[in-house]
């Protein structure tokens, strides 16, 4: 799910200390009378405005995504799955690597297994290379896990454990991330706003103790954090705001600009582009890789995401549960908030509220898909509680 909407993309930042009266080394906007520097309209968020609660299972692999070739009987299978919470964010770059492998043998007719983020982008890039493509999938958007993602740019969200982030892995990851970011810029300004930017505000209470990191001590293996190390040139620097410069009381805010994918319009555009270019979609469920031999194509890109755990018996995939509460859209709300382990994202198809926890281990190894209304209510209550009473 989400591209992750977790701590790192909403984190205050390594070494940043938000204390009452000072933010060491940071440019701070303070209230000095007159209108506030930050205007944040209060969202009309309440449980009776929830339109649906969705749950997604992110496919995390401790060693990172699987983009490699495997021979399965007569079929040359290129795997393209296991991106954790970074599927949409890395999709174009990862798929570019996958089609390089798929076309190395000269194939001109390729099958794609799966119709989520990685399947659709693989299929479109194959078409752009002049290849005939058929997508085979049990489910189509919006009934795929990718359609249940949060939809924000989060290219290192549960991408691997830190111990597996070797120099070679970092080079590959950076290539995927930069290719994807560049491709997404061509979707800006199109009808339906498939891709756009929004300002997100990390909020901290003045009473919070000074700390270089909000997380408590954790003996579990750390997740890799690569965006701040390798992609600092892609998005604007953050800006800090002190109490009095915004409507959220005695709190400190840090503003970051983040890229957003409005998934209903974006996936609709991807499917439409694929079909207009002559692509075929066949609804089909595979119970075993041996069934690939029944297809007319002998070169396949396998992009089933979490589905690979069952289809290929890949037990390296760890489920990470993520739940979204979708509320009635509000066209005038164009900002997001991260506060106390909870995130709010202003998607065009509806405001999204999500409990993300205090670390990437929130939802880890949890394959439950049943919605939790209490969790949804907590997410809404946490964000609306920041605003003065209406």
71-81, pLDDT tens digit by residue? 999 999 999 99
- Residues 107 and 99 sit within 8 Å (Cβ to Cβ): no
CA nearest neighbour of 234 among 171, 301, 177, 195: 177
299-302, strands of its sheet edge to edge: 66-72, 75-81, 299-302, 109-113, 132-137, 280-283
What pLDDT does 389 receive? 84
**Where is average pLDDT lowest: 22-31, 230-239, 310-319?**
22-31
Mean pLDDT of the chain: 91
Query: Mean per-residue pLDDT for 79-94?
Result: 98
Whether 292 has a pLDDT exceeding 80, the answer reads yes
Helix, coil or strand: residue 117: helix
Q: Is residue 319, in this structure, part of any structural domain at all? A: no
CA nearest neighbour of 57 among 358, 324, 376: 324
The percent of residues above 90 in pLDDT, for the chain, comes to: 87
273-287 residue pLDDT tens: 999 999 999 999 999
Whether 215 has a pLDDT exceeding 60, the answer reads no
Whether 3 has a pLDDT exceeding 70, the answer reads no
> Range of 132's domain?
60-174+263-311
Whether 238 has a pLDDT exceeding 50, the answer reads yes
Whether 24 has a pLDDT exceeding 80, the answer reads no
Q: Is residue 235, in this structure, part of any structural domain at all? A: no
What pLDDT does 35 receive? 61
What pLDDT does 6 receive? 38
Q: How many independent structural domains does the chain possess?
A: 1
Whether 167 has a pLDDT exceeding 80, the answer reads yes
Q: Exposed, middle or buried, 63 (CB in 10 Å: 0-12/13-18/19+)?
A: middle
Q: Is residue 342, in this structure, part of any structural domain at all? A: no
Q: Is residue 365, in this structure, part of any structural domain at all? A: no
What pLDDT does 242 receive? 95
Give the integer Cα–Cα distance in Å for 210 and 212: 7
Q: Is residue 324, in this structure, part of any structural domain at all? A: no
Q: Is residue 138, in this structure, part of any structural domain at all? A: yes
Whether 9 has a pLDDT exceeding 80, the answer reads no
pTM: 0.90
What pLDDT does 216 receive? 59
What pLDDT does 207 receive? 78
Q: Is residue 129, in this structure, part of any structural domain at all? A: yes
- For residue 264, CA distances in Å to 172, 259, 267 come to 29, 16, 6
Query: Mean per-residue pLDDT for 115-125?
Result: 98
Query: Mean per-residue pLDDT for 44-60?
Result: 97
Q: Is residue 326, in this structure, part of any structural domain at all? A: no
The CATH number linked to 170 is: 3.40.50.1100
């Amino acid at each position: 799910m989400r591209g992750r909407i977790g701590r790192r993309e909403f984190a205050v930042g390594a070494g940043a200390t938000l204390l009452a009266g000072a933010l060491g080394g940071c440019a701070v906007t303070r209230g000095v009378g007159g209108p506030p520097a930050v205007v944040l309209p209060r969202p009309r968020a309440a449980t009776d405005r929830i339109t649906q609660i969705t749950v997604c299972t992110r496919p995390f692999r401790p060693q990172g995504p699987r983009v490699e070739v495997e021979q399965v009987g007569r079929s040359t299978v290129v795997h393209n799955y296991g991106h954790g919470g970074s599927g949409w964010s890395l999709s174009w770059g990862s798929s570019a690597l996958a089609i390089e492998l798929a076309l190395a043998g000269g194939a001109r007719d390729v099958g794609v297994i799966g119709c989520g983020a990685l399947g659709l982008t693989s299929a479109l890039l194959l078409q752009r290379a002049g290849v005939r493509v058929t997508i085979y999938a049990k489910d189509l958007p919006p009934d795929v896990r990718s359609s249940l993602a949060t939809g924000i740019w989060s290219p290192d969200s549960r991408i691997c454990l830190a111990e597996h982030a070797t120099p070679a892995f970092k080079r590959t990851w950076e290539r995927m991330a930069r290719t994807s970011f560049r491709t997404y810029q061509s979707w800006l300004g199109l009808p339906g706003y498939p891709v756009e930017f929004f300002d997100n505000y990390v909020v901290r209470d003045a009473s919070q103790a000074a700390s270089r990191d909000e997380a408590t001590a954790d003996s579990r293996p750390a997740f890799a954090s690569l965006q701040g190390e390798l992609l600092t040139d892609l998005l604007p620097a953050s800006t800090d705001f002190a109490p009095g410069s915004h409507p959220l009381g005695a709190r400190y805010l840090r503003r970051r600009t983040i890229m957003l994918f409005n998934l209903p319009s974006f996936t609709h555009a991807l499917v439409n582009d694929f079909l207009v270019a002559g692509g075929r979609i066949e609804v089909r469920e595979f119970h075993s890789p041996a069934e690939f031999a029944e297809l007319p194509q002998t070169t396949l890109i396998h992009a089933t995401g979490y589905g690979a755990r069952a289809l290929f018996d890949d037990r390296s995939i760890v489920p990470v549960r993520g739940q979204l509460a979708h509320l009635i859209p509000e066209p005038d709300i164009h900002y997001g908030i991260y506060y106390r382990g909870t995130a709010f994202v202003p998607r065009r198809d509806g405001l999204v509220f999500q409990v993300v926890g205090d670390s990437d281990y929130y939802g880890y190894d949890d394959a439950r898909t049943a919605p939790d209304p209490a969790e949804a209510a907590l997410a809404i209550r946490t964000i609306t509680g920041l605003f003065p009473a209406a």
